[in-house]
Structure 1
Amino acid sequence: MLTNELDTRTQPTRQKTLSNGPFAGKIAIVTGSESGIGRETARALCRAGASVVLNGRSKERLAQTVADLTREGYSVAGCVADVTVFADCERLVQTALNTFGRIDILITNASISMRAYFADMQPDVFQRVLDSNVYGTVYPLKAALPHLIDTAGSVTFISSISALNGMPSGSAYCAGKAAVANLAHTLRLELADTGLHIGVVHIGFTQNDPDKRVLDADGRPVPIAHRPPRLQKTQAQVADIILKHVRQRRRRTIVSGLGKLNAFLNTIAPRLADWIVLTTLRRWRNLYE
């Protein structure tokens, strides 16, 4: 059945969901899970025993992902929703409650990235990227928060290593990802007595779907900037790291050695960290443009 809620939960004849897996019996929402890292995170959760509500803005792509995971024997539902619209996020949460009865895990993965220098960007494009990263995190959590507190559940914001030290041609994206990292810290203090886990995963260079697009200065979709293959992790590798983060209820996880080096240098030698970024900008502009 294809509706805005896209509730396609089935009872598969060959059930791969593990009754004794580390997430057995848990109910998860993964935003932006129609493709990419979100899709592989949802698949990894299913493999570990969870039932998952998938989300995306493309009805066709989401339906295909739901069908694929259902065919693999997993317990999933789908909800077409724009996570920058609070009413859509309320409907996303209600889909989880109607289908599975509770919410234990929320992973806010949906976001829009960019490839443009700040001086060239149209203001509405900056706002669109920032909204997707900030309100695309705030609204799903706000809608799900009472239910997550009821289950003493887990919330993970997907951030980026670019939030640790900034990245030329990524101003709005970096600002948004840094904002959600600080938001997580604030919420841990505010909700310390609830038992709710709130963490952040800073992802690094990751292999993308072939049709992955980001926004240019005028808001047109363009391919992502060059990323050296040797520095990229697969989507499945990143998904496994996210699951380990959730399972261990970590506060912060930085994916990749490059990201950990970035965080270390930015703490003890920020001028050196900036020098490295500026040097790569001069020598390898294709990493940014």
Structure 2
Amino acid sequence: MFSNNAAPLPLAGKVALITGSESGIGRETARAFCQQGAAVVLNGRQPERLESTRQALAAEGYRVAACVADVTDYAACEQLVAVAIREFGRLDMLVANASISMRAYFLDMTPDVFRQVLDSNVYGAVFPLKAALPHLIRSRGSVTFISSISALNGMPSGSAYCAGKAALTNLAHTLRLELADTGVHFGVVHIGFTQNDPEKRVLDAAGQPVPIAHRPPRWQKSQAQVAAIILRHVQRRRQRTVISALGLLILVVHSVLPRLGDWVVRTSQQRLRNFYE
């Protein structure tokens, strides 16, 4: 979008694909990219919600397209990327945001639930990237995996989620080494506690959707704040961004005093059970 006699916006002419953007952080990240001039391909699994988001952004004057796709299905990811190319002719940025979270202790979980959560966080990032990579190499583009501060030190009641999010860090590092000559940026954003849509649900031990565990409001950033940080991460082509003071503290303690970090987590688990359960 341009104003009279104004310089083009920073992402004018660029195209971003943001998975899991029908709601929540993904939706606000899409809005942030649009505000900087990018055309955005929206994605989700719920057609009505996805179309509602597409219409809302289009009504604001932004260039958006939408594709219903389960990102743990590689064929669906190929179709998702095909929509980007058909609608906008190129692809410059991929934000792998879609994932399923959980709220269950490992001892109680069924294997199928563990696999479902892990698949959404690992294959849900790998498959869109694999489908998009030829186009991103052509544009010397950017890939950002949305991880979590819980991947930095683990979190009780989040085994599969933490494992999947932690895997993205090593995946990004490996891809930087393998594809260093392509000019493609690979980064990871570790998000912290964020305000959620009221209907946000995670999986319990049996795979049933339940509300997310309690998070003190004073610890939470808004979705728009998180989206702005993701946007800045992509624009600066950073390798890693850790959101929130708590996330940075976890990173430092885990690196320097890991036993202290584990003691703090175990103590909080005993005293703040509703934080995990």
For this structure pair, what is the TM-score category when the shorter chain's length is used for normalisation?
Answer: over 0.9
1:21 aligned counterpart, secondary structure:
coil
Structure 1 match to 2:111: 123
Q: Are 1:35 and 2:23 matched, yes or no? A: yes
For residue 12 of structure 1, what is the aligned residue in structure 2? none
Equivalent of residue 77 in structure 1, options 65, 74, 80: 65
Alpha-carbon distance, 1:16 to partner: 7.2
Residue matched to 2:201: 213
Residue 269 of structure 2 corresponds to residue 285 of structure 1: no
Distance in structure 1 (CA, Å) of the matches to 2:84 and 2:248 = 35
Unpaired stretches in structure 1, ≥5 consecutive residues? 1-14
The one-letter code sitting in structure 1 at the alignment partner of 2:41 is V
For 1:228, the aligned partner's letter is P
Match of 1:163 in 2: 151
Match of 2:89 in 1: 101
User: 1:184 maps to what in 2?
Assistant: 172
How many percent of aligned residue pairs carry the same amino acid? 70
Distance 1:229 1:16, change over 3 A: farther
Structure 2 CA distance for aligned equivalents of residues 33 and 95 of structure 1: 15
1:143-188 Cα distance to aligned partner (Å, 9 max, x none) = 0001000000000000000000000000000000000111001100
Report the 3-state secondary structure (helix = DSSP H, G, I; strand = E; otherwise coil) of the residue aligned with 2:151: helix
Q: Give the conservation status (yes or no) of the 8 Å contact 2:2–2:8.
A: no
Rounded Cα–Cα distance in structure 2 between residues aligned with 1:24 and 1:251: 23
> Under a length normalisation based on structure 1, what TM-score does the superposition of the two structures give?
0.94
Instruction: Say yes or no: does 1:23 pair with 2:4.
Output: no
1:68 matched residue in structure 2: 56
Report deviation, 1:50.
0.2
Which 4+ runs in 1 deviate beyond 2 A?
A: 15-19
Partner residue of 2:137 out of 149, 152, 155: 149
Preserved contact between residue 116 and residue 217 of structure 1 (Cα < 8 Å): yes
Letter in 2 for 1:42: A
The SS at the match of 1:193 is helix
* Other-structure match for 2:220: 232
Q: Structure 1 pair 223/26, CA: closer, same or farther in 2 (3 Å)?
A: same
Tell me the CA shift for residue 24 of structure 1: 1.1
Question: Is the partner of 2:214 in helix, strand or coil?
Answer: coil
CA distance in 1, matches of 2:237, 2:69: 27
Residue-by-residue CA offset, 1:192-234 (whole Å, 9 max, x unaligned): 1110000000000000000000000000000000001000000
Matching of residue 140 in structure 1 with residue 128 in structure 2 = yes
Please report the TM-score for the alignment, with normalisation by the length of structure 2. 0.98
> What one-letter code is carried by the residue in structure 2 that aligns with 1:239?
A
Distance in 2 (CA, whole Å) between partners of 1:250 and 1:152 is 15
Render the CA deviation track for 1:130-152: whole Å, top value 9, x for unaligned. 00000000000000001000000
Q: State how many pairs are aligned.
A: 275
Q: Any unmatched runs of 5+ in structure 2?
A: none
Distance 1:23 1:244 in 2: 12
Rounded to whole Å, the distance in 2 between the matches of 1:63 and 1:244 is 27
Counterpart-to-counterpart distance in 2, 1:149 and 1:101: 14
From the superposition, tell whether residues 274 and 196 of structure 1 become closer, same or farther in structure 2 (CA, over 3 Å): same
What is the CA–CA distance in structure 2 between the aligned matches of 1:56 and 1:263, rounded to whole Å? 31
Instruction: For residue 19 of structure 1, report the CA deviation from its aligned partner.
Output: 6.6
Q: Residue 76 of structure 2 aligns to which amino acid in structure 1?
A: D
Q: What RMSD over aligned residues (CA atoms) do the two structures have, in Å?
A: 1.1
Match for 2:246: what amino acid? L
In 2, the alpha carbon distance for the partners of 1:227 and 1:103 equals 36
Amino acid across the alignment from 1:271 = R
Q: Does the residue aligned with 2:123 lie in a helix, a strand or coil?
A: helix
| Contact 1:19 1:49 survives alignment (8 Å) | no
Amino acid at match of 1:24: A
Q: Distance in 2 between matches of 1:20 and 1:232?
A: 33
Structure 2 letter corresponding to 1:259: G
